[in-house]
Structures are given as structure tokens and as C-alpha cells.
Amino acid sequence: MIHVRGALAIGETSRFLIEVNSNIDGPVFVRLRNRTKATRRATYLLGPFVLYCDSRPVIPANQNEYVPQFKANIEPQGKFTFQLKPEDARDVGGKRCWIIDVVSEVLFNQITKVDYELLISLDINNFKKSKYQQDIYESIEGDVVAKQYSNHDIQEFIEVGAKIKKSQTKERNQHLVIVTHGMISNVSNDMMYIMEQLRAIDRDDLDEELILDGYTGNVCRTELGIKNLGIRLANYIVKERYNTNIKKISFIGHSLGGLVQTFAIAYIYILHGWFFDAVKPVNFISLATPFLGLYSHIGNYTKRLLSSGALGQTGEDLRYHSHNKLKNFSILYLLSGDPAHSILQKFERRTLYANAINDGIVPLASSALLYLDYSKILKDSKLLKKETDDIRSIVMTWKEFQDSEDFKVYKKVNPKSKIFRRVSLTNTVGNLVLPEPPKNITSDMNVLIHDQVYQYNDIPDSEYFPPDGIDEIMAMDRHQLQECMARRWHAGKSWRKVIVCLEGDAHNSINVRRRYSNSCGWAVISHMILNHFIKPQKCDVPEADIVSQPASRDEADMEPNKTYAWLLKEDKEKGGLIRRATNALNPIARRL
């Protein structure tokens, strides 16, 4: 019997490659147990001490008939028992192979770990007799063998029969793809599916080598604010990741990660002006990113959470203040203009993916930069048989908003009407560790209800833009400011906007946080990879709209420059209530 024990911290995954001899005609039994003490269920801020596990054949015997086995919420002392059936996996070279992923669901703490135990046997009764002495990776008869991979190993993991091929003929230019996660910054786990799908692209389809990476130094540092998170990411890209073989760069950001990436590229553009001369910016892709903040059309609970300081400076950044209360420009407003405006123009493609419904954190208006052809969305949703009361409600509400000359529509909307389905921030956070089971597990679900390139000329005129000087900007209310920011994001640039309709927890499914719990997002990632890396389409911007690059500066010159002082001057780190509470509990965690 195979018997393995381990412990996983935040962002860590253990992957097991199980090889079973083809002469075994019965099922192989697997049991994963969360060995953490049951008392730790109550110490949520120290964990949570929960595991996710899934199993899949490396090469399914029948892709359409295979039903994956997974469990999203294995609590302390909980168990997950399942079978590896020979009829599910194809025989290759006298072996059938499965992959088992054990994933940590720790969210708030970098110290604590979740202990687990994995048992694999041809006889389920052996589980009761097993007494752990040491890790055993091979059965006595040699019929079953387990190979374990850590997070670092998974980056280089090549599945049997995968499409990845090592080029033996010529060296290829490197295309660096930076992925950035949202609020928890858990790149290694929560963006794993995206990286694995990119890694699985047939190299014969590419004329370059994709280098996939993400900055893990921001994990559990959500409350530092967009600026501090962005500076840390920028320094990692320039000082640790760049080399002369890298000729192109793309960015994929989920939720807050899209704003962090925007700040990072603006910071690099000004402080390291040489970088984008040496490296060509190709794709800027956002997944449910709150470009216009989170304050409009969200529940009172979410507003109170942002106002309470629970999320520190990041909560302040996303609260969506009007300028007259801040006595200064908000970082969201500043990011919508230069220098981010200038460098974003240089990207070949700018694409945003936005959730129409079921996103309890980021509203459609914010993630889609406000302006959409809402009539066309409603028409497309009918053709795709996706018309629901939720889509009709949100489309008609926002269409009324767009057609109005002022923003009184916000006050006129019936509070009982559904702008979008009632999925609160509480639901979304809860779904991180206890997601709703997907109704269907397939990549063929038609979830894209709108896909269109928008030019600045497509946007209707507005009495608020361009504003007549700083005083008018400072006097704007939230809704006027939202429109002004949306127009600044669009100025001189084209944006491809892809609106999707996902079931369950859409905010965590749009990036496929977990392979099977969030499987309704598979089609989104497939669309993203096909249209940006395999068969990319160029979104041209008129040459007249392209502005020249600002002169690059040395660090010695940057401080006197007041124009970009908000970008270059580092702020004092501001922690949030969650982090302070977690730090206060850490001494207790060490004794548990």
C-alpha cells in the first residue's frame, strides 16, 4: 500500500502522478485525510485549514463519458475516498496513469499549514490496518507507483501524452506571460489552471517560447494597496525576471490583479523606460477587474467592509471616493490617464472579460469600463438561448443608464429590482472554500454572450467630458467621475470586451480558481488562449491617437518630478484589520 504524509501552506499544491500496471483489472482505492486537529475549524483567520482534491486520468479512455472525482471542502479530520477505475484511463505502454492534486485552501496566514495523509491500495480494507512509519511511494508488488511533485515541480511537469514539445531545431524568442491574482494574490494555486492551459499549447502552433510566471511575494499582502503591490510586481519583473532573451511580454490579471498590473507597467514605463523598448508589449488581459472601483451597485455589507479598514489601503483604493472628499485624485482616476494610458496604447491587444451576472464583488459596469452595446448583448443572449431574467434585468438597467443625460437613473432604480443576481461578497468569500458544485463539467458550454471591439468613437458624447479644468473634476460626484474615468480608459485605445454568463460563483470561476469546482470558466480560458496566443487578432489603433513615450528617467531624477510623484514616491505600508488580527493570532498558531 502507498502511504504518504505531508503539509501544505498557503499557495502550495502536492501533485501525485499515479502509474498503475495494465494487468490490474480492478479499481485502485484512494483516501485523502485532512490530519489537522478538529479544534482548528474554529480558527478561521489562521487558515482556514481546508483542502481541495481532484483526480483525473492523464489520458481519458473517453473524454465525453469521464466524470471527474473531486471534493472542494475537506475540513479538519475530514476524508475523501474515491476510486481510480481502469475503464476511465487509456492504456499507454502497459500503464494507466492518473493525476491527483491536493491543494491548500489557506487564505489568511503564511505560517500555518494543513496536514494531510494520502493512502492508495488495491484493497479498501487496508486503510483500516495502515499504521504510518514512513512515506511509501510504491506497492510491494510494484503494480502501483506514486510520484510526487511540489509547486516548483509542477511548473516543469509534463503530462504523459501532453502536447508540449521541446523544440530540437532552433532557439525561439521568449514571450514572458505574467499572471497576477486578485485579493489574496495566490498566483501559484488560483492561477494554476490558466498557466497549465498555456503550457499545454502545441509548440508547433507558436513561433516563440512562452515563459509563464507570477509574483508570489504579494501573497497575504492584499491590504497594502494597489500602489505598493504594483511597485513590488514591477521590481520583480525588471530586476528578477527580465533577461535579454525575452522579446515580448503579456499580462493576465484577475480582479484586483488587473489594477496591480496596470500600476506596474506604468511604473516600469516611467522609471525603466528602456524596458518597453527592449520588450514588446503584446497582450493586456483582465478578468473581472474593477477598473472603476467597487462602490457603485454593490451591497451595503460590501461598502461597510471597504470602509471599515478590513482591507487596509486596498479597501480605500476601491471605495470609489469622489475627489472633493479625498482632497486629491484617487488612484483609480490617476491610473485611467498617463502614464498608464500611453503604455497601454502600445499593446497589440487590450481585452477585458467581464461577468454579466453572479459576480458578488465586481459589477459589470466596472469590469467592462461602463460602455457597452447593451441592445446587442440582449439580442445575442437570446440567440445563444442565454436569456434569463437576470441578463434582461442588468442589460435594461445599464442601457437606461447609458442613454440618460444625467445619472438620476441610479436613484430611480427600484431597490427591489435585480440589477444582477443577488450574490453578495459574503457568498463569494464563502465559495472560496465551499463552492457550489457545478451543474455541468464541460468546456463546451456556450457562456460567451458578447464579444466586440470598442473604439473611442463608439462611445456617446457626454456633458461631463472633457472636464473644464481641475475644479470641475474635483466637484464631480461618484457617478460623473465614473463616466469620466471610463472615457479616460477608452481614449485613443481600442478595447475588446468579452461578456460572459457563468453559473454559481462567477468571480472565482472566470479564472477557474479550481479545476472542477469552477469548471464553468473553462470556455473563458479556452477563448482567451485561442484569441491571444494561438490565433491572435490585432486590434489596430489609428496612428493619430498614439502618443509618444515620455522620456525615461534615472532614479536620481524622479523625485523632483511632481507630475508622476503619485506613481514614483513609495508610500508607507498600511495594514488592514484582517492582517492585524491574523498577526495577533500567529503566536497561538505556533502553539497549536
Q: Which residue has the cell 496513469?
A: 97
Give the DSSP H/E element, type plus range, for residue 194: helix 192-199
The string of DSSP letters for 197-230 reads: HHHTS-GGG-SSEEEEE---TTTT-GGG-HHHHH
The whole-angstrom separation of Cα 39 and Cα 116 is 16
Give the residue carrying C-alpha cell 478561521.
44
One DSSP character per residue, 105-139 reads ---S-SS--EEEEEEEESSTTHHHH---SS-B-B-
Q: Which strands make up the sheet holding 144-149, listed edge to edge?
A: 69-74, 51-57, 95-104, 13-21, 144-149
Give the burial class of 516: count Cβ atoms within 10 A of its Cβ; 0-12 exposed, 13-18 middle, 19 or more buried. buried
The DSSP 8-state label assigned to residue 430 in this structure reads: H
Pairing of strands 28-34, 79-84: antiparallel
Q: How many CB atoms lie within 10 A of CB 169?
A: 5
Spatial separation of the C-alpha atoms in residues 8 and 118, rounded to whole Å? 13
308 phi and psi angles, rounded to 5 deg: -75, -15
The reply to whether omega before 536 is within 30° of 0 (cis) is: no
CB 312 within 8 A of CB 224: yes
Residue 2: exposure state from Cβ atoms within 10 A (0-12, 13-18, ≥19): buried
Roughly how many angstroms between the first and final C-alpha of the chain, as a whole number? 31
Q: Residue 120 phi/psi, 5° resolution?
A: -135, 125
Tell me the β-bridge partners of 458: none
Q: Which residues contact 135 (CB under 8 A, 6 or more apart)?
A: 3, 4, 5
Alpha-carbon Rg of the chain, whole angstroms? 25
Give the phi and the psi of residue 399 in degrees, each rounded to 5. Answer: -65, -40
**What is the rounded CA–CA span in Å between residue 210 and residue 178?**
10
Q: Rounded to whole angstroms, how far apart are CA atoms 455 and 362?
A: 23
- The residues annotated with a catalytic role in the active site are 255
Cα–Cα distance for residue pair 272/458, rounded to 1 Å: 34
**Of 421, 418, 451, which is closest to residue 436 (Cα–Cα)?**
421
Query: What is the C-alpha separation between 306 and 320, in angstroms, rounded?
Result: 10
Long-range CB pairs of 454-457, under 8 A, 24+ apart, other chains included: 454/371, 454/372, 454/490, 454/494, 454/495, 454/496, 454/497, 455/494, 456/490, 456/491, 456/492, 456/493, 456/494, 456/545
